[in-house]
Amino acid sequence: MTSRVDGPLKVTGRAGYGLDRTLPGMVYGYVVVSTIAHGEIEAMDVTAAKSAPGVVGVYSPFDSLALNPGNFPGFGETWVPLQDREVLYYGQPIGFVVAETFEQARDAAMLVGVSYRPRPALTSLADGLASAEDAPASRGVPSTLSVLAPGVESIEDALAASPVVVEATYSTATQNHAAMEPHSAVAVWEDGVLTVYSGNQGSDLQASELAGSLGLEPAAVHAVNPFVGGAFGGKGRTSTPAFLAAAAARALGRPVKAALTREQVFTATAGRAATVQKIALGAERDGTLVALRHDSWCSTDALRSFVEPTSHGTSREWYATRNLAISQKMVPLNIPQTTFMRAPGEAPGSFALESAIDELALALDMDPIELRQRNNSTAPPGEDLQWSSKHLDECFRVGAAQFGWSGRRPGGRTDGDWLVGLGTATAMFPALRFPATVGITLRDDDTAEVGTSGADPGTGLLTVLSLVGAESLDIAPERIVPRLGDSRLPPGGMSGGSTATASAGTAIMIAAAQAIDELLALASAPGAPFDGQDVLYADGRVLAGGRSMTFGELLRALDRPSLYVTGSSAPGEELTKHSFSSFGAQFCEVRVHKWTREARVSRMLGVFDGGRIINEQAARSQISGGMIWGVSAALHEGLEIEANGRMANADFAGYLLPVNADIPDIGVHFVEYPDTLHNAVGARGLGEIGTVGVAAAVANAIANATGIRVRHIPIMIEDLLEE
């Protein structure tokens, strides 16, 4: 069992997060947000705020900080605050007050008077469906795609010809990342160089975005990202506090610290879109899929910043079918921005697809696992690129045996006053890899530093660097010094998309091979300890002629303190040869009280095929966290947006998250088949797949227990009341 290298720092409170930084002469910023959902700011009266105790600066669209919008490669346009008077959603940042203390800044912000010219606002996805727009292409697939068997004219014809058809509409709620650490930043300028301490999912990406918005060369921005108190996609872009703190620190010539309040986190950041999904499944009476239609709508903000790819993330690939039609539309609303959130597309998409598969199993009077296995895909429908490695059938077999699936009965069972049901669902998440560069420094004290600018937002990447670095350099993990979260380290990209281990790990292997080659060349060079000899490397030592030296001893003999190399890795020709995904089978037992209709998850098991498991303890933790997230989506989590655009539950009292009493012991099992076709490490992503399918498994278990099929999440007590 491998412990996290950052564990002792975190459990003792010695881990320093961005907001923990306190600098001499520092002042504090407080964000002012809008109180309408759509309109124009006519005026802002800042007189009282400017004269309030301790205030050193008040900024608004009428007296703005110098920030430039830009276009960030791979992510689209960069929105920066306070640059115009247009209000697009309730809670939009429209001002910034800076004072000597946080309390002074907060109190002065309450004195800012704002007058608006309101415009009609559209805040409901249901109300906006009629005005939906085609979404842009997602994952290389256009918004509408059909794959039809020869001679079939349309998906409707295929459905009409199917002996058994089920069709239903499903919906999922708006969600917020609700990370423990609010979005925040500390910014300081020195000799024309900006240093920003801010929790983010990629320090080099944050530095680039800040440099563009401030009109600086990238080298003039140093982003430090030591620890991240939760991210899940919500800290992939530079936050409002980071933009404003950086610009205000330049204007004032003093360090600035800024953080969103908990309520502001729900509006001044981006969250998961709400979705509506219509699915139709047609099958032979033996369960073979004939046709699958999946039409999706998702909310997006007025800037159309993100689309939740539900149909494209699930039905496009999950099951073998002769006929497939998917579509994705978006509904622009006056709501906060939408963005990536753990398993974007797959998490809400799997609720719809896997609920529909269960409904088809019921219509066929077939075991839900048997139906899924009968339609196991060897490649995405209509494509020739087969999965590089897929053991989903084994996941279901192992899971069914461990969970006692053979004891499942139609209609569930009773246990005193509780109705008990079992549910299952497939989980898939694409196995991706991002470009990454890792630097390795061999030191004369026989330690090795392994560093990249990426982040560890709680995933255990620091420990992965230690383990893969140690394996690649053939030394003990304790001799590795892992480094992350600094834009001056080699560019490691974003810690997101369940890519970090495969991306950084492959780069480590390349860098380690380079380091060893250069070490051997030094060892056998003229005048070196192994001058002219054929040298080998093993166990952290250089060997030749019956003697050996550690690499530290060799460097000391050469009067060199260190040897530094970099290695880079990126997706390559493997993408033209195979399709790549991680796979899993989710199992859930739910108890519904006969009289109160309270639903409680009592048992969970997830069995996953994620390639090679580098650190089983961390992998189990990631999967368990994802499964808890799925329970949260199924039974607790949903933002309620009022007609005026205000979030009705923008706090941890009304925005429900599961607590310990809501979650049983979670079983996690891995079927381990290293996937070296995907990357040299053999590991595939695990951070997000744990969430996928759980909400459907919960809904399927509730249906098994009660006979009530709920087609939206979160599922509430009132949904389970019998008429």
3-state secondary structure of 505: helix
Q: What is the pLDDT of residue 2?
A: 76
**Confidence check: pLDDT of 379 > 90:** yes
Question: What's the pTM?
Answer: 0.96
Question: What residues contact residue 650 under an 8 Å CB cut-off, 6+ apart?
Answer: 91, 262, 263, 265, 266, 267, 639
DSSP 335: S
**Confidence check: pLDDT of 1 > 80:** no
Rounded CA gap, 297 and 633, in Å?
A: 18
3-state secondary structure of 357: helix
Q: For residue range 156-204, what is the model confidence (pLDDT) as tens digits?
A: 999 999 999 999 999 999 999 999 999 999 999 999 999 999 999 999 9
Using a pLDDT cut of 90, give the percent of the chain over it: 91
Question: What residues contact residue 49 under an 8 Å CB cut-off, 6+ apart?
Answer: 55, 58, 97, 108, 109, 111, 112
Rounded CA gap, 124 and 122, in Å?
A: 6
Higher pLDDT, 72 or 426: 426
Q: What is the pLDDT of residue 71?
A: 65
User: How high does pLDDT run on average in the chain?
Assistant: 95
**Confidence check: pLDDT of 18 > 60:** yes
What's the rounded mean pLDDT across residues 603-618?
96
Q: What is the pLDDT of residue 722?
A: 75
What's the rounded mean pLDDT across residues 538-559?
96
**Confidence class for position 645, pLDDT limits 50, 70, 90:** very high
What's the rounded mean pLDDT across residues 277-285?
98
Please say whether the beta carbons of 622 and 686 come within 8 A.
yes
Q: What is the pLDDT of residue 382?
A: 84
Cα angle 7, 12, 15; round to 5: 65
**Confidence check: pLDDT of 723 > 60:** no
Alpha-carbon separation of residue 278 from 84, 275, 325, 490, 504 (angstroms) = 39, 10, 11, 45, 39
Q: For residue range 126-141, what is the model confidence (pLDDT) as tens digits?
A: 999 999 999 998 878 8
Q: For residue range 252-280, what is the model confidence (pLDDT) as tens digits?
A: 999 999 999 999 999 999 999 999 999 99
* Exposure on the CB side of residue 638, measured as CA atoms within 13 A: 20
What's the rounded mean pLDDT across residues 522-533?
95
Nearest CA-CA partner of 334 in 89, 504, 700, 102: 89
Q: What is the pLDDT of residue 457?
A: 86
Rounded CA gap, 398 and 585, in Å?
A: 9
Rounded CA gap, 58 and 46, in Å?
A: 7
Structure tokens at 477: 């993990």
**Confidence check: pLDDT of 75 > 70:** no
Please say whether the beta carbons of 495 and 464 come within 8 A.
no
**Confidence check: pLDDT of 74 > 70:** no
Adjacency order of strands within the sheet including 547-550: 536-538, 541-544, 547-550
**Confidence check: pLDDT of 67 > 60:** yes
Catalytic residue IDs: 688
**Confidence check: pLDDT of 73 > 80:** no
Alpha-carbon separation of residue 332 from 123, 311, 329, 648 (angstroms) = 9, 18, 10, 20
**Confidence check: pLDDT of 77 > 70:** yes
Q: What is the pLDDT of residue 72?
A: 64
